[in-house]
Amino acid sequence: MALAVRTASWWARLRGPCPAAAPRGSAARLPAGLVGCRRHYSSRDKEKIDMSTYPVESIRNFSIIAHVDHGKSTLADRLLEITGTIAKTDRNKQVLDKLQVERERGITVKAQSASLFYNREGVNYLLNLIDTPGHVDFNYEVSRSLSACQGVILVVDANEGIQAQTVANFYLAFEAQLAIIPVINKIDLKHSDPERVEKQIEKLFDIPVNECIRISAKHGINIEKVLEKVIEKIPPPQFKTTDPLKALVFDSTFDHYRGVIANVALFGGEIQKGHKIVSAHTNKRYEVNEVGILTPNEQPTHKLYAGQVGYLIAGMKEVTEAQIGDTLFMYKQPVEPLPGFKSAKPMVFAGMYPVDQTEYNNLKSALERLTLNDSSVTVHRDSSLALGAGWRLGFLGLLHMEVFNQRLEQEYNMSVILTAPTVPYKAVLSSAKLIKEYGKSEITIINPAQFPDKHLVSEYLEPTVLGTIVTPQEYIGKIIVLCQDRRAVQKDMLYIDEHRVMLKYLFPLNEIVVDFYDALKSLSSGYASFDYEDGGYQAADLIKMDILLNGNPVEELATITHNDKAYATGKFLCERLKDAIPRQLFEIAIQAAIGKKIIARETLKAYRKNVVAKCYGGDITRRMKLLKRQAEGKRLMRKIGNVEVPRDAFIRVLKRQSDK
Amino acid sequence: WPYCRQHCSYCSFNKYVVPALDEAAVRACLVREVQTLLRLGHVQRVTSVFFGGGTPSLAAPHTIAAVLEAAAEVAHLPAGTEVTLEANPSSTDPSHLAGFRAAGVNRISIGVQSLEDAELRLLGREHTAAEARAAVEAARKLFPGRTSLDLLFGLPGQSLQGWQRGLEAALGLCDDHVALYQLTLERGTALEAWVRRGALPEPPQDLLADMYQSAREALVAAGFRHYEVSNFARKGALSSHNLSYWRAEQYVGVGPGAHGRFVPWGEGSSQREARVQTPHPDTWMEEVRRRGHSTRQRAVLGTLEQLQEVLALGLRTDEGVTQRRWGLFSPQLSLGEVFGAPGEAQELQQGGWLLLDARALRCTPTGLAVLDAMLPALLCQLQR
């Protein structure tokens, strides 16, 4: 139905229709919530591998990083094939991307890792490919995955060149002091220009042109060369098995039968079944049931040793017990936890409601199951007079929100109403009474209903992001205007070659959460790319705006907005509401107000004629049916003062613009 | 009569354009079904007859005669009972009309629709304005004081002035009964598709309201009583047949796709039913031959449903839902008890759209134009 929030065009950039992204028949449609357990158990019966034959010198831990659609997953497929990890067939497409949403969008949401065995010049190497989510929404996960690596393969499309996400990914790896192997992919394409891309890489990343490897992952060209460089350039991990156990949790999944499966990288020591371990974050103690490696399915081993990467199962019941970035150590042998751990911090909030309230319990259980696998989503119960009982969910970013919603639809067959995303504002309180009430002087405002009045506040703060835009130069003018319109401040501008420019802007987050990317894509004919990272909070002139219907406030449409944007936002909301409310017997004033001041108004005229012309024998049955349905529908109307508002009117106003 | 010579661009009725027709067979089935259903309803007396369609004026006068005779055989059909026939200007030459009169028809309703040739073409009518005039004049000679004409307004592209001119011309032509219908863009019609695709403009709401209002004023000034949403009559020339629909009286529907509301005592029932006959003529005939009638759907109407109809239909008339009529359907709960209590009806009265007095519940003139916006609220109140 119309209310169902479909996959928005918002993130169309992730990948258009592309054969490589197509799901592989029915196998790609995963059963509810079993993402983590679609692994092959038969391997458990096999002879366990003795991991002690792989000392640190023979180990290479690395990731592949790339802008979306530049071929990260295809290269991973080839590496898996060439090392015999998976059989070589033409059906190996995005082998590590197991979710339907990943295959459809051509993105990686949930990282999967794989251990590759590779013999070179008589040495048996253990190459651990640690997959990373491909988007900055998952920046934290990316940084944790990278911290388990000593090097990365940076993939750049020979045709598109460096894009915004390439830049962001490069700096993540660079700051982590990892060895970087630049790879220029898709050299088979007709318009590819590897020389230009090599120059870009040299200019922007200071990597000599001759270090780039030109490949075609699709056709398997030069893949051996990549493996050669991995062994040659990436240093082996410098950890000792004789040290106490120190294991980094860099990912976790949930299996309905076995509980949490934590992906770990050993920074020291060894681990095996029966060991008693402790989480540095929760201080909880567990007994290890199983350890093993991922190939990419789970393959149990006797032990895991320092420098190795694998999984462990230790009776953890919830993914929150194996938080990404946590350190595990041996009971009674505490170690200094690995740096960089932080709990997931939601940046974008949205209300989620069942399309039909009778679906509430089903949606609740679907949410519970999906969040088992994604501990970064925060869930708070919420309710709205118009939309009924629901939740306010916090996401790491917009893509995260889209993906979460898509998974709900695809894996749990749930249609939901998703309200327009909002960002977490903050207020520095000046009122002693309020400070006492909250027990602190700075509060986070997720819901406009909690917005404290100006005279109780010394300062409002809004979240910002540092955005990177890479664009062909001819669009710069328009893009600068767009950014200024979004209250963004330019931080940097750099020509990465004769034609392409990289721009850096500090954006208020709320200015990009709804339709910024669409606008950017449309004014650059699809050529500009965009990425962003957390930019901290800044002071902002915020106000709360009410929407009134014939003078009565509509609680669910109250909005926090920047003073400069109040008029435009108010006008927009009034116009949308006008389109969404049917005419009634009397005139309706739709107003946007700040305090008592009206800043925008739309008038919905009264019906002057609404009566069916013909009503004779044959028309009566049809007429009565319609009337009864309308009478029934009236009971679902929300009455604000004397105005009747259909429930879907709020949905049409609240939902994101791209779903119009 | 479900047959037409061609499809009009706005019409979504159950109608069929066929190259050849075995009229004798259709006639025999109409006769058979009339008799079966009148017997089923234990009908003692027929108070009015209406031949609608389709295009009933395409039927032979002796088919009409045969149906009336058949009715008279099983029920009392008093002389002077209103017998109306719908006629198209293209099938109403004087001798044909005289034939209908001889068959027993005493009231004629002519589908003029417009007196502008361009509008008639848009509507897909096969007649011209001149033919329409001639038809009305011929009918008035044969059925003086008993000729009605239908007009459509709110055509895509029609202006207020254009409509007023057409109405003025019609007033110069008409007899004592006029029906003015706002064009409804019905799904599945050519006209609706043209408007939906943007090939034709959708008439704006305010213009339609203005057209309706100015027509009401013009007709009232010409001495007409606005007795139903779309119907006007002077000198008492109201259609008693159509009034019976709006008064929620019983009626028997005969022929393909016809609707009826009656108690089928003959089937052992004592409750009013909403009945629909099989729409397709061939299937209908087959079934009538097999079992005497071809009722496709039967639905028992409970008290609440009957009251809903009394309300929704009665409020379309200027007399409204009278206390007396309401009492026939709801002996326990009076109109005042249902709608006098605080609630939707009271709010509508305060707004000046509705009136409740000792005689009836009815719309004010302003309320009548927005009746469909009031009915859902009133039905809600009734349900409680």
Are A315 and A387 members of one domain? no
Averaged pLDDT of chain B: 95
Which CATH number do you get for residue A280? 2.40.30.10
**Which secondary structure element, helix H or strand E, spans residue A516, and what is its range?**
helix A516-523
**Best CA proximity match to B149, nearest among B67, B232, B36:** B232
Query: Is residue A199 in a domain?
Result: yes
Give chain B positions within 8 Å (CB) of A618.
13-14, 253, 257-259
Burial of A525 (0-12, 13-18, 19+ CB in 10 A): exposed
What is the structure's pLDDT at A69?
82
CA distance A84 to A217: 16
What is the structure's pLDDT at A254?
82
Query: Is residue A160 in a domain?
Result: yes
Contacts of A300 (CB under 8 A, 6+ apart): A43, A44, A48, A290, A291, A292
Three-state secondary-structure class, residue A591:
strand
**Residue range of the domain that includes A133:** 51-233
Query: Is residue A635 in a domain?
Result: yes
CA distance B365 to chain A (A): 11
How big, in percent rounded to 5, are the helix, strand and coil portions of chain A?
35, 30, 35
Rounded average pLDDT over A324-353: 85
Query: Is residue A630 in a domain?
Result: yes
CA distance A320 to A317: 9
* B370: nearest CB among A609, A618, A631: A609
| Residue B215 pLDDT greater than 60, yes or no | yes
Residue B37: both structure tokens together: 């259903």
Are A263 and A150 members of one domain? no
What is the structure's pLDDT at A355?
77
Preferred mutation among B228, B232, B243, B245 to probe A, highest tally of A CBs within 10 A: B245
| Residue B85 pLDDT greater than 70, yes or no | yes
What is the structure's pLDDT at A558?
85
**Best CA proximity match to B124, nearest among B12, B45, B246, B221:** B12
Contacts of A141 (CB under 8 A, 6+ apart): A111, A132, A133, A250, A251, A324, A376
Q: Degrees (nearest 5) of the Cα angle B91, B92, B94?
A: 140
**Best CA proximity match to A205, nearest among A173, A230, A233:** A173
What is the structure's pLDDT at A655?
59
Higher pLDDT, A184 or A375: A184
Are A315 and A447 members of one domain? no
CA distance A604 to chain B (A): 13
Task: Decide which of A540, A575, A599 is a domain's last residue.
Answer: A540
Q: Do A624 and B305 touch (CB under 8 A)?
A: yes
Give the residue on A whose Cα is nearest the Cα of B277: A618
Count the Cβ atoms, other than its own, within 10 Å of residue A520.
25
Q: Do A618 and B257 touch (CB under 8 A)?
A: yes
Rounded average pLDDT over B225-229: 97
Are A161 and A72 members of one domain? yes
Buried b vs exposed e over B88-126: b needs ≥16 C-beta within 10 Å?
bbbbbeeeebebbbebbbbbbbbbbbbbbeebbebbebb
Residue A517: both structure tokens together: 């990317």
Are A181 and A303 members of one domain? no
Buried b vs exposed e over A369-388: b needs ≥16 C-beta within 10 Å?
bbbbbbbbbbeeebebebbe
pLDDT tens, position by position, A530-579: 888 888 999 999 999 999 999 998 877 888 999 988 998 899 899 999 99
- In percent, the amount of chain B with pLDDT more than 70 equals 100
Which CATH number do you get for residue A108? 3.40.50.300
What is the structure's pLDDT at A43?
43
What is the structure's pLDDT at A344?
67
| Residue A350 pLDDT greater than 90, yes or no | no
Contacts of A415 (CB under 8 A, 6+ apart): A1, A3, A4, A5, A355, A409
Are A191 and A143 members of one domain? yes
CA distance A295 to A113: 8
**Count of the separate structural domains present in chain A:** 5
pLDDT tens, position by position, B121-171: 999 999 999 999 999 999 999 999 999 999 999 999 999 999 999 999 999
What is the structure's pLDDT at A4?
26
3-state secondary structure chain B: CCECCCCCCCCCCCCECCCCCCHHHHHHHHHHHHHHHHHHCCCCECCEEEECCCCHHHCCHHHHHHHHHHHHHHCECCCCCEEEEEECHHHCCHHHHHHHHHHCCCEEEEEEECCCHHHHHHCCCCCCHHHHHHHHHHHHHHCCCCEEEEEEECCCCCCHHHHHHHHHHHHHHCCCEEEEEECCCCCCCHHHHHHHCCCCCCCCHHHHHHHHHHHHHHHHHCCCEEEECCEEECCCCCCHHHHHHHCCCCECCCCCCCEEEECCHHHCCCCCEEEEECCCHHHHHHHHHHHCCCEEEEEECCHHHHHHHHHHHHCCECCCEEHHHHHHHCCCCCHHHHHCCCCHHHHHHHCCCEEECCCEEEECHHHHHCHHHHHHHHHHHHHC
Q: What are the backbone dihedrals phi and psi of residue B28, each rounded to the nearest 5 degrees, phi first?
A: -60, -40
CA distance B334 to B328: 10
The widest CA-to-CA distance across chain A, in whole angstroms, is 94
**Best CA proximity match to B327, nearest among B364, B359, B368:** B359
Rounded average pLDDT over B230-253: 96
CA distance B141 to chain A (A): 28
| Residue B69 pLDDT greater than 90, yes or no | yes
What is the structure's pLDDT at A338?
87
Are A136 and A204 members of one domain? yes
Q: Say if residues A507 and A465 touch (Cβ distance below 8 Å).
A: yes
Rounded average pLDDT over A329-339: 91
CA distance A354 to A381: 13
Query: Residue A22: pLDDT band by 50, 70, 90 thresholds?
Result: very low
Domains of chain B: 23-244 (3.20.20.70), 247-300 (no CATH), 308-383 (no CATH)
CA distance A536 to A78: 40
Are A278 and A358 members of one domain? no
Are A256 and A137 members of one domain? no
Are A68 and A192 members of one domain? yes
Q: Do B274 and A635 touch (CB under 8 A)?
A: no
**Best CA proximity match to B21, nearest among B44, B4, B45:** B4
CA distance B261 to chain A (A): 8
Q: Do A609 and B205 touch (CB under 8 A)?
A: yes
Query: Residue A102: pLDDT band by 50, 70, 90 thresholds?
Result: low
Which CATH number do you get for residue A412? 3.30.70.870
Higher pLDDT, A450 or A211: A211
Task: Decide which of A298, A330, A362 is a domain's last residue.
Answer: A330
Rounded average pLDDT over B294-322: 95
**Least-confidence region, from A17-26, A515-524, B1-10:** A17-26
Are A82 and A136 members of one domain? yes
CA distance A134 to A107: 6
Between β-strands A270-272 and A113-120, what pairing exists: parallel, antiparallel or unpaired? unpaired
Q: Does B315 reach chain A within 8 Å, measured CB to CB? A: no
Q: Which chain B residues in 107-166 lie under 8 Å from chain A, judged by CB atoms?
A: none
Averaged pLDDT of chain A: 83
Which CATH number do you get for residue A597? 3.30.70.2570
Q: Degrees (nearest 5) of the Cα angle A358, A361, A362?
A: 90
Higher pLDDT, A350 or A488: A488
What is the structure's pLDDT at A62?
95
Give chain A positions within 8 Å (CB) of B305.
624
| Residue A16 pLDDT greater than 90, yes or no | no
CA distance B376 to chain A (A): 4
What is the structure's pLDDT at A159?
92
Q: Do A615 and B246 touch (CB under 8 A)?
A: yes
> What distance lies between CA A251 and its chain's CA centroid?
15
pTM over 0.95: no
| Residue A244 pLDDT greater than 80, yes or no | yes
Rounded average pLDDT over A612-617: 90
Q: Is the peptide bond prior to B54 cis by the omega test (within 30 degrees of 0)?
A: yes
Query: Residue A17: pLDDT band by 50, 70, 90 thresholds?
Result: very low
Query: Is residue A603 in a domain?
Result: yes
Q: Degrees (nearest 5) of the Cα angle A416, A418, A421?
A: 160
Query: Is residue A526 in a domain?
Result: yes
Are A559 and A521 members of one domain? no
Which CATH number do you get for residue A532? 3.30.70.240
Rounded average pLDDT over B217-240: 97
| Residue A402 pLDDT greater than 90, yes or no | no
pLDDT tens, position by position, B333-370: 999 999 998 889 999 999 999 999 999 999 999 999 99
Query: Is residue A67 in a domain?
Result: yes
Q: So what's the ipTM on this one? A: 0.91
Indicate the Cα dihedral angle A47, A52, A56, A61, nearest 10°: 20
Q: Say if residues A303 and A356 touch (Cβ distance below 8 Å).
A: no
Query: Is residue A7 in a domain?
Result: no
**Which secondary structure element, helix H or strand E, spans residue A261, and what is its range?**
strand A259-268
Rg of chain B, C-alpha, whole Å? 21
Give the residue on B whose Cα is nearest the Cα of A618: B259
Three-state secondary-structure class, residue A210:
helix
Q: How far is CA A36 from CA A43, A128, A252, A263, in A?
A: 16, 19, 9, 11
Q: Do B205 and A583 touch (CB under 8 A)?
A: yes
Rounded average pLDDT over A183-195: 94
Contacts of A647 (CB under 8 A, 6+ apart): A386, A387, A636, A637, A638
What is the structure's pLDDT at B161?
97
What is the structure's pLDDT at B334?
93
CA distance A516 to B112: 57
